[in-house]
Amino acid sequence: MASFLAFYALICLFFLDNTYREGEIGGGGWDGMRVLGLVLCLVWPLLLVHAIVMARLSRLTG
């Protein structure tokens, strides 16, 4: 479990850094879309894991 959390944190930090830098290059303003982009960097890896697990479970059951 610890390795999964470390991998998740690595992915999140990578994309948070890229999104933050893109916002700085684009003017540096903290509008709603920039904040939403940063929040989504934390959420999308969980959605990917969910989709993989559900696909695996459906393959096993049917």
pLDDT (average), residues 4-31: 88
Summarize pLDDT for 38-53 with one digit per residue, the tens: 888 888 888 888 998 9
Q: Is the pTM of this model over 0.75?
A: no
Separation CA 9–CA 12 (nearest Å): 5
* CB neighbour list of residue 45: distance below 8 Å, 6 or more residues apart: 8, 11, 12
**Residues 16 and 41: beta-carbon distance below 8 Å:** yes
**Residues 11 and 44: beta-carbon distance below 8 Å:** no
Q: Which residue has the higher pLDDT, 14 or 4?
A: 14
**Residues 23 and 36: beta-carbon distance below 8 Å:** no
